[in-house]
């Protein structure tokens, strides 16, 4: 995505400091960009990505990505509706695709544009494994982590000047170049450790709401960690918490997730 396009979609947030609370985790974050504009830009980038990639259709894995994605999407809608927050998802336009690529990776762009790479499917193994990844990636979008990362960069560099709206176009472009390097995809934005941990927690709850066993998350992350070859870390783990911390956090979040799983008809 071109820097000028990203710059244009953020301008509408000038002077508006919004504190957003995640309805699943309770974590608050500053998000000052216009979410609708971000979604529009993400949809364009997603279309471009699919046009230049080999999209896999009709296979067991491709159908698995679509089916699991649909169930987690429906679970998210049901939960947001139950707490009166369904308007937050009104402009989402979901897509779930599998791309032929050996990378062990997956991502969800703002607005619900999801891509799995074939390289991660053997690590997922089954529906539960796909649900672990799907819940995690969808949570990045639902929690507004892309918006938050842009906001963090703007506030860190310009602080009070940002609120006053006195930032020049050149200064804004400089921020966006750091957050979105030229040629980078919206869905592949590097998240911080707090955001990755929140996506773990939220994703665990979402997969459980959708009827997938949250206990399978522990085994998935162990398989993912074991897949690292030599000193090379899979892209999917590049900014994630350490394996020990992740598993400890997942175990701490598990009782709540199991309640959702039981409510969804799961067997304990």
116: CB partners within 8 A, 6+ apart: 65, 96, 97, 98, 99, 106, 130, 133
What does DSSP assign to residue 64?
A: H
Q: How many helices (H) and strands (E) does the chain have?
A: 11, 6
- For residue 237, give Cα distances in angstroms to 16, 103, 220, 225: 33, 12, 12, 8
Structure tokens at 176: 């966006």
User: What is the full DSSP assignment across 157-207?
Assistant: HHTHHHHHT---HHHHHHHHHHHS-TT--GGGPPPPHHHHHHHHHHHHHHH
Side-chain half-sphere exposure of 209, counting CA atoms within 13 A: 22
Please say if 95 is a catalytic residue: no
Helix (H) or strand (E) holding 258: helix 243-263
Report the alpha-carbon distance of residue 259 to residue 268 in Å, rounded.
9
Q: Which is the catalytic residue, given 37, 137, 198, 201?
A: 137
Instruction: Please report which helix (H) or strand (E) contains residue 55, including its range.
Output: strand 55-56
Among residues 11, 13, 4, which one has the least CA distance to residue 31?
A: 13
Query: What is the C-alpha R_g of the chain?
Result: 18
Distance from C-alpha of 198 to C-alpha of 167, rounded to nearest angstrom: 31
Q: Which residues are catalytic?
A: 137
């Amino acid at each position: 995505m071109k820097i000028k396009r990203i710059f244009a979609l953020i301008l509408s947030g000038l002077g508006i400091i919004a504190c957003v609370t995640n309805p699943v985790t309770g974590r608050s974050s500053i998000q000052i960009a216009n979410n609708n504009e971000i979604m529009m830009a993400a949809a364009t980038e997603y279309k471009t990505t699919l046009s230049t990639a080999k999209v896999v259709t009709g296979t067991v894995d491709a159908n698995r990505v679509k089916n699991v994605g649909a169930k987690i999407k429906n679970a998210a809608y049901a939960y947001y509706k139950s707490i009166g927050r369904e308007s937050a998802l009104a402009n989402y336009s979901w897509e779930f695709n599998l791309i032929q690529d050996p990378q062990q990776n997956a991502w969800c762009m703002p607005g619900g544009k999801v891509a799995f790479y074939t390289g991660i499917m053997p690590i997922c193994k089954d529906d539960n494994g796909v649900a672990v990844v799907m819940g995690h990636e969808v949570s990045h979008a639902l929690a507004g982590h892309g918006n938050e990362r842009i906001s963090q960069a703007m506030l860190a560099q310009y602080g009070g000047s940002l609120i006053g709206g006195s930032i020049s176009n050149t200064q804004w472009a400089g921020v966006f170049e750091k957050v979105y390097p030229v040629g980078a995809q919206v869905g592949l934005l590097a998240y911080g450790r707090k955001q990755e941990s929140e996506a773990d927690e939220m994703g665990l709850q979402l997969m459980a709401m959708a009827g997938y066993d949250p206990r399978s998350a522990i085994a998935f992350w162990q398989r993912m960690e074991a897949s690292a070859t030599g000193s090379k870390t899979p892209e999917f783990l590049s900014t994630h918490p350490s394996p020990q911390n992740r598993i400890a956090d997942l175990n701490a979040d598990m009782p709540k997730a199991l309640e959702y799983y039981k409510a969804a008809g799961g067997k304990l």
